[in-house]
Amino acid sequence: MYGIRELGRMIPRGLDTQVSVTRLRRKNTLEDRVAGRTVLITGASSGIGRAAAVLIGAAGATVALVARRESELREVAAEIESLGGKAAVYPCDLNDFEALDAMAAQVLADHGGVDILVNNAGRSIRRRLDESYERFHDYERTMRLNYFAATRLMLALLPGMRERRSGQVVSVLSVANLFGGPGYGAYIASKAALDSLTATLQAETLTENIRFSSVYMPLVQTAMTASNPIYRDRGLTPEQGAQAICDAIIDRPRRIAPLLGRISALVDSLAPEAVDNGRSTRFQKGM
């Protein structure tokens, strides 16, 4: 079985996704999917979110940029506009639900609706169980941003999508959701909750032309991983991660994941005890 570090080394050129084959025969382009539409991206001030916003804006979308840092959002907006795109800046701390509600209401008032929501903002915490006994708040704050904020935003935007019978929600998860992430319990659990919710919502809205796409992202070189020296200079670039989001928008798959991640999930379902042993051994070596 493979960990995040191993997958980061083994997928250097881009995300080996289940849609890679369909790129050879796809009929739609990013422009086809987003031109003239409104796309809201959380965590748009840096990393994957920023790179995705630039690609989507350049393809003709009006991009609603959401993150805490207004100055950085304005830099992203200026870059999109320099490429001929349109962008609107919505500074918001998504941990503040009142601010989130106000932001969502303003976006709807400004644009009349959101066609595509990209749940990209997230918080990662690396902390072992024996370091967490007195830190329940780590689980609370991770869940608040990664799951509850994304859920609250979906509840604000989905009514309009359902009324128009058209829309998509792309959620950036972790490849560790497929094979486990010892040491990242709070983070993996929050992403798993979002994954389970969107699977349920997909079943409820399948006949309404609403699509929920989960992107099981491998390690990406962002500010989130930069503080950990073992991940430095490993994994995908933000631009490669952003391309996976764009692939999800173009092809509207239910899931996008590295091949090794999907194989790991299959093996886990067939032989969970063996997989647990592999996870434990890998974790003990990495402590």
- What's phi and psi for 213, nearest 5 deg? -120, 125
Catalytic residue among 90, 187, 216, 231: 187
Could you give the dihedral angle defined by the CA atoms of residues 171, 175, 180 and 186, in that order, rounded to the nearest 10 degrees?
Answer: -40
Annotation says 187 is catalytic: yes
What is the 3-state composition of the chain as percent helix, strand, coil, each rounded to the nearest 5? 55, 15, 30
Report d(CA 123, CA 138) in Å as an integer: 10
| Contact in structure between 217 and 174 (CB atoms under 8 Å) | yes
Helix extents (H) in 87-214? 97-111, 136-143, 150-164, 176-179, 185-205
| Contact in structure between 275 and 180 (CB atoms under 8 Å) | yes
| Contact in structure between 215 and 244 (CB atoms under 8 Å) | yes
- 271: three-class secondary structure by DSSP: coil
Residue 153: closest CA among 263, 281, 233, 42: 42
Active site (catalytic) residues: 187
